[in-house]
Amino acid sequence: MAPHGLTPIVLSANTPETFYRGAGRIGWFRGSPVRGDLPEDWVASTTLRAGSLDCSGMSRLADGTLLADVIAADPVGWLGKDHVARYGSDTALLVKLLDAGQRLPVHVHPSRDFAYRHLASPYGKTEAWIVLSATPGATVHLGFSRDVPAAELAGWVRDQDTGAMLAATNQIPVSSGDTVLCPAGTPHAIGSGVLLIELQEPTDLSLILEWSGFPLDPGQVTLGLPLEQALTCVNRQSFSPERVAALRGRPLNGAVGSVLPSAADPFFVAERVDGSRPLTAAYSVLIVTSGAGLLSPSAGASIPVGRGSTVVIPHAAGECSLSGDITAIRCLPAP
């Protein structure tokens, strides 16, 4: 039987302020009031927003307790013995809902190696996108379409030559159900009109290549490093059509199981789940994408869930099951 309190918990929205606009899609998806201009919901987050002094970005439970503190008090119960042996009390995962009410700026997240050497972080920020909805013609920018010399990239950034920067990226159409992996070091931007689930390494490390037109201080966008040093984290090599295709995963309208390409496996796992098979015991974050039904742990009461529900599931909850006409994305840290 699960220890007291170690059962699935349905979470409220956790929407920290940020520099770009949402368009109300998070509230629409969740079916609950969320300030429409806030574009991110940090789900089951134990990650602090960069530069925050007030726990911004970190999820709180209904009584106001930080989820990170609850996990730290019983890491084995929450995360499992094998996870704790590898990561300690760190969940090793950040999940978000992201509502792009405008195109995000071109930016890059550092690799683990770069973050370890220059930023005192064990994590970089590889991420993956699972598109829940997209307006007609919506796109994402992913990698450069040609090799870009270091001096040319530095010139674009110093001059804020957004046109040249965007013209050198792969612009990829996306629609509901698409899945895409964005490896650390990849210049990228999510276009306007997209609502997605984002799985990420648990950091808030971003090198902003494009700040013109956004309420950003140019002195605060280079990871606290000199620009020339920060730019060395950028993958300036061409992403060929074959490379881009390899970063696309399985569509959400397919069978249950993993939806991301295998290159995501060292960082995180995303599974499409429904009521056809049980959910093995594991720390995970569940986002219900359609329908309604019940989430039932191995012991304890069943929990009503429906489209837009976000649930954190501790390892000690044991094997869980979904019932009803329901589909969801189950997000897990790398095993």
According to DSSP, the residues that pair with 200 across neighbouring strands are 94, 127
Domain assignment present for residue 68? The answer is yes
Scored b (16 or more CB within 10 A) or e, 227-241 reads eeebbebbbbeebee
Confidence at residue 53, expressed as pLDDT on a 0 to 100 scale: 83
Confidence at residue 1, expressed as pLDDT on a 0 to 100 scale: 35
Reduce the secondary structure of 288-300 to three states and give it as a string: EEEEEEEEECCCC
Confidence at residue 300, expressed as pLDDT on a 0 to 100 scale: 86
The average pLDDT across 168-191 equals 98
In angstroms, the CA 100 to CA 194 distance is 5
The average pLDDT across 123-144 equals 98
Confidence at residue 5, expressed as pLDDT on a 0 to 100 scale: 66
Q: Kindly indicate the confidence band of residue 4, based on its pLDDT and cuts at 50, 70 and 90.
A: very low
Total domains present in the chain: 1
Domain assignment present for residue 293? The answer is no
Domain residues for 61? Answer: 15-75+91-246
Q: Judge contact between 145 and 208, C-beta under 8 A.
A: no
In angstroms, the CA 189 to CA 195 distance is 13
Q: How many CA atoms lie within 13 A of 310 on its CB side?
A: 22
pLDDT over threshold 60, residue 139: yes
Q: Greater confidence, 6 or 97? A: 97
Average pLDDT, whole number, for the chain?
96
Q: Kindly indicate the confidence band of residue 217, based on its pLDDT and cuts at 50, 70 and 90.
A: confident
Q: Kindly indicate the confidence band of residue 195, based on its pLDDT and cuts at 50, 70 and 90.
A: very high
pLDDT in tens, 8-54: 999 999 999 999 999 999 999 999 999 999 999 999 999 999 988 89
The average pLDDT across 297-326 equals 96
Domain assignment present for residue 4? The answer is no
pLDDT over threshold 50, residue 83: yes
Domain assignment present for residue 142? The answer is yes
pLDDT in tens, 234-290: 999 999 999 999 999 999 988 899 999 999 999 999 999 999 999 999 999 999 999
pLDDT over threshold 60, residue 304: yes
Distance, C-alpha 92 to centroid of its chain: 12
Q: Kindly indicate the confidence band of residue 308, based on its pLDDT and cuts at 50, 70 and 90.
A: very high
Domain assignment present for residue 43? The answer is yes
In angstroms, the CA 259 to CA 330 distance is 10
Residue with tokens 């159409």: 173
In angstroms, the CA 169 to CA 250 distance is 23
Provide the CATH number for the domain around residue 168: 2.60.120.10
In angstroms, the CA 266 to CA 221 distance is 27
Q: Kindly indicate the confidence band of residue 220, based on its pLDDT and cuts at 50, 70 and 90.
A: confident
Q: Kindly indicate the confidence band of residue 82, based on its pLDDT and cuts at 50, 70 and 90.
A: very high
Q: Kindly indicate the confidence band of residue 192, based on its pLDDT and cuts at 50, 70 and 90.
A: very high
Domain assignment present for residue 289? The answer is no
Domain assignment present for residue 143? The answer is yes
